[in-house]
Structure 1
Amino acid sequence: MIATRRALLVGAGAGLIAAPLAWAQDRNDQDRNSVPLALNGAWRQGGYALGRTTPGALIFVDGEALTTASAAGLFVVGFDRDAGPNVRIEVRADGRTARRTLDIAPYAFPSTRVNGLPPSTVEPTDPALLERIQREIALKTEGFASRIDADDFRDGFVWPLETYRVSSAWGAQRILNGTPARPHYGIDLAAPQGSVIRAPADGRIAFVRPDMHFEGGLTLIDHGQGLITCYLHQSRLDVQQGQRVRRGDPLGRVGMTGRATGPHLCWRMKWRDRNLDPSLMVGAQAPKTIA
Structure 2
Amino acid sequence: MRLAALLLLAAIAPAAAAMPQAAPLAAPAFRWTGVPTQGGLISGTAPAGSVSVTLDGQPVELTDRRFIAGFDRDAAPQAMLVATLADGRQISQTLSVAPRAWRIERLDRLAKFPAPDPVMARLRPPELARIVAARARVTDAEGWRQTFRWPATGRISGLFGTQRIYRGEPGSYHSGIDIAKPTGAPVTAPADGVVILAADQPFTLEGHLLMLDHGHGLNSAFLHLSRIDVRVGDHVRQGEPIGLVGATGRATGPHLHWSLRWNDARLDPLLVAGPMPGA
| TM category, shorter | 0.7 to 0.9
Where in structure 1 are there 5+ consecutive unaligned residues? 1-30, 285-291
Q: Is the 8 A contact 1:166 1:187 kept in 2?
A: yes
**Map of 1:90 onto structure 2:** 82
Secondary structure of the structure 2 residue equivalent to 1:212: coil
Where in structure 2 are there 5+ consecutive unaligned residues? 1-23
Residue 73 of structure 1 and its aligned partner are, at CA, apart by 2.6
**Map of 2:7 onto structure 1:** none
Determine whether 1:45 maps to 2:35. no
* Whole-angstrom CA distance in 2 between matches of 1:267 and 1:185: 9
Larger Rg: 2
- Give the share of equivalent positions with the same residue, in percent: 37
Which structure: greater strand fraction?
1
Secondary structure of the structure 2 residue equivalent to 1:89: strand
CA RMSD of aligned residues (A): 2.1
88-97 or 188-197, which deviates more: 88-97
Residue 144 of structure 1 and its aligned partner are, at CA, apart by 1.5
Distance 1:56 1:241, change over 3 A: farther
Secondary structure of the structure 2 residue equivalent to 1:82: coil
Distance 1:185 1:34, change over 3 A: same
- Residue 125 of structure 2: which of 115, 123, 134 is its match? 134
Residue 132 of structure 1 and its aligned partner are, at CA, apart by 1.2
**Map of 1:107 onto structure 2:** 100
Query: How many residues are paired up?
Result: 249
TM-score in terms of structure 1 length: 0.80
Distance 1:145 1:76, change over 3 A: same
**Map of 2:192 onto structure 1:** 202
- Residue 155 of structure 1: which of 133, 146, 152 is its match? 146
203-212 or 239-248, which deviates more: 203-212
- AA partner of residue 181 (structure 1): G
- Residue 270 of structure 1: which of 252, 261, 266 is its match? 261
- AA partner of residue 52 (structure 1): T
Following TM superposition, the consecutive aligned residue runs of length 4 or more in structure 1 with deviations greater than 6 angstroms are none
Distance 1:244 1:44, change over 3 A: same
RCO greater where, 1 or 2, for CA within 8 Å and sep 6 or more?
1
* Whole-angstrom CA distance in 1 between matches of 2:235 and 2:25: 40
Q: Is the 8 A contact 2:194 2:214 kept in 1?
A: yes
